[in-house]
Structure 1
């Protein structure tokens, strides 16, 4: 008779060398051609600075007025998923599609230092750190794919467990 195989808390986690999924956030206070090229430089700096650890899956940027998508494409910018409002709203979704926000520097989050702190705090409340291209890489961020995989594993096990069902006898009024 052979001994049963042991299971560990990490069974089912396969995020060994997976890159970190990131959302890019950029901001400019003008919409002329030069400003759009500077916004593209912000994006490219983040892409180059964080490669190969990070893959940018979503792009959010704020401009003072709406700009024609063709003009954005001609400037070399990826399709925008919105601005800060849309980024903030996506933070509270169960699976936003990214684990990290990358930005050129803190001043790009907001011109107001307290606005920067508010935005950093909001992201932190949803367990999404912000990394700046002008600051050194934090090795702790390497654990983000593992954290995502562990969270997915826990969700699968909790949702598959009968003791966490919404309808039980006491909630439906049939209990004693």
Structure 2
């Protein structure tokens, strides 16, 4: 076994090369890996936000290749892009994979978080409730900027039902 820094590991799904170019496969594979490790939840999906220059460094591609690759994958519906940034000048893209589109293309795809989503959501709820108890706040007080509104809608409903 080769020992290396986990930050330097790259995951490749070589079977995706049947459907995508090398740069597209690299981006999709890396994004899939990152989505399983992110805590950024919006609209019931996990998101990763990297600048073009960061993607270029991560994937060892030029910034223009990264921009073209992302634009093409968005155009064909494989990636979904949003802007959840707090400042108008911040143009960092938030990206996620449209796993349903991959399935439509005949690719066996299921985000491994989908099986684990309920467990992760439960952990997030427990962490949030523990934080509320520490602050001696009413457990059902949810301010607009609270962590509660970053949770998927189904998790919010589950919390309100308790």
The TM-score, its normalising length taken from structure 1, stands at 0.27
The TM-score, its normalising length taken from structure 2, stands at 0.29
Larger RCO (alpha carbons 8 Å, 6+ apart): 1
